[in-house]
Amino acid sequence: MPSKVTIIGCGAVGEAIANALVISDEITDLVLSDVVKDKLRGMVLDFQHGQAFHATRVVEAVDWADTANSDVVIITAGVRQREGESRRDLMGRNKSIMEHIVPPMAQHSPNAIVIVVANPCDFMTQLVHKMSGFAEGRVFGSGTFLDSSRLRLELSKKIGVAPESINAYVLGEHGDASVVAVHTATVGCTLLTELVSKEAISESHKAVIGAAGEVIKLRGYTATAIGMAVGKIVEAIVRDKLEIIPLSCPAKGRCGIEHDIYMSLPCIVDRNGVRPWHTVLPPEECKHLQQTAAIMHEASKEVLGLE
92 annotated ligand binder: no
Q: Residue 113: name the closest of 142, 140, 149, 153 by CA.
A: 140
Residue 79 has pLDDT above 90, yes or no: no
pLDDT at 1 over 80: no
Annotated binding residue 9: yes
Residue 112 in marked binding region: no
Asked if omega into 120 is within 30° of 0 (cis), the reply is yes
Q: Is residue 86 over pLDDT 90?
A: no
Catalytic position from the list 174, 205, 288, 297: 174
Tell me the pTM: 0.95
Average pLDDT over residues 12-39: 97
Q: Is 19 annotated as a binding residue?
A: no
Task: List the beta strands (DSSP E) in the chain.
Answer: 4-8, 29-33, 57-60, 72-75, 113-116, 139-141, 166-167, 170-171, 179-180, 186-187, 190-191, 243-250, 262-270, 273-276
Mean residue pLDDT across the chain: 94
Q: Quick check: 300 pLDDT over 90?
A: no
Residue 13 annotated as binding site: yes
d(CA 200, CA 260): 33
What pLDDT score does 2 carry?
A: 63
Q: Which one-letter amino acid corresponds to residue 106?
A: A
**High-pLDDT (> 70) share of the chain, %:** 96
Q: Annotated catalytic, 174?
A: yes
State which H helix or E strand residue 209 sits in.
helix 198-219
139 pairs with which residues across the strands?
A: 114
218 bridge partner residues: none
- Over range 34-51, report the average pLDDT: 97
* pLDDT 10s digits, 189-248: 999 999 999 999 999 999 999 999 899 899 988 999 999 999 999 999 999 999 999 999
Which domains, from first to last, does the chain contain?
4-141 (3.40.50.720), 145-304 (3.90.110.10)
Q: With 90 as the cut, is the pLDDT of residue 305 above it? A: no
- pLDDT value at residue 71: 98
Q: Are strands 186-187 and 166-167 parallel, antiparallel or unpaired?
A: antiparallel
Residue 84 has pLDDT above 80, yes or no: no
| 119 is an annotated ligand-binding site residue | yes
Q: What was the pLDDT predicted at 200?
A: 97
**Residue 177, marked binder:** no
**What is the pLDDT confidence band of residue 301, given thresholds at 50, 70 and 90?**
confident
pLDDT reading at 17 higher than 70? yes
**pLDDT higher for 305 or 293?**
293
Instruction: Give the model's confidence band at 176: pLDDT under 50 very low, under 70 low, under 90 confident, else very high.
Output: confident
73 is in an annotated binding site: no
Q: What is the pLDDT of residue 158?
A: 97
Q: 86 or 75, which is more confident?
A: 75
> Is 46 annotated to bind ligand?
no
**pLDDT range class, residue 154, cuts 50, 70, 90:** very high
Q: Residues 204, 158: contact at Cβ < 8 Å?
A: yes
